[in-house]
Structure 1
């Protein structure tokens, strides 16, 4: 029984070793390509990414302006406007 087990291990083991060595060789060869690719992706911006970033900036600016407008309207309604507030445009609610 031991001989059969030893014989079967010697037949299957080389296949495992060869497969592992081949996989390691492929990993070693493709590693520089993957590293360069990741570096290029990190420093370049696609048009889609640029558009998304610009859209976020525009939305944030609109939110900031809306907040400032609401605060100015509130100050005008309460009768405490700042010198920069234009209370003529404030709609009375």
Structure 2
């Protein structure tokens, strides 16, 4: 399958890329090769093949949800540059 210069120009415009004529020719050939390979993959018999989200057997590892003692307010705010009562003091996000 071929990828025309016009299609390369359109993709370059959408990608905000400035390409030379030589780069456009090379990219046109490369994208055409990629599309040819995708067509080859489409010809494979995938009947009975289970779809995958990942190629490795990954699973979540969960731990028991156990209530534990947490930091005190003084420990949590001990390194805070500024503090207001039991909270971090931060500058307002929007100045007036």
TM over 0.5: no
Structure number with bigger Rg = 1
More strand by percentage: 2
More helix by percentage: 1
* Structure possessing the higher relative contact order (Cα contacts under 8 Å, 6 or more residues apart): 2
- After TM superposition, the score normalised by the length of structure 1 is 0.30
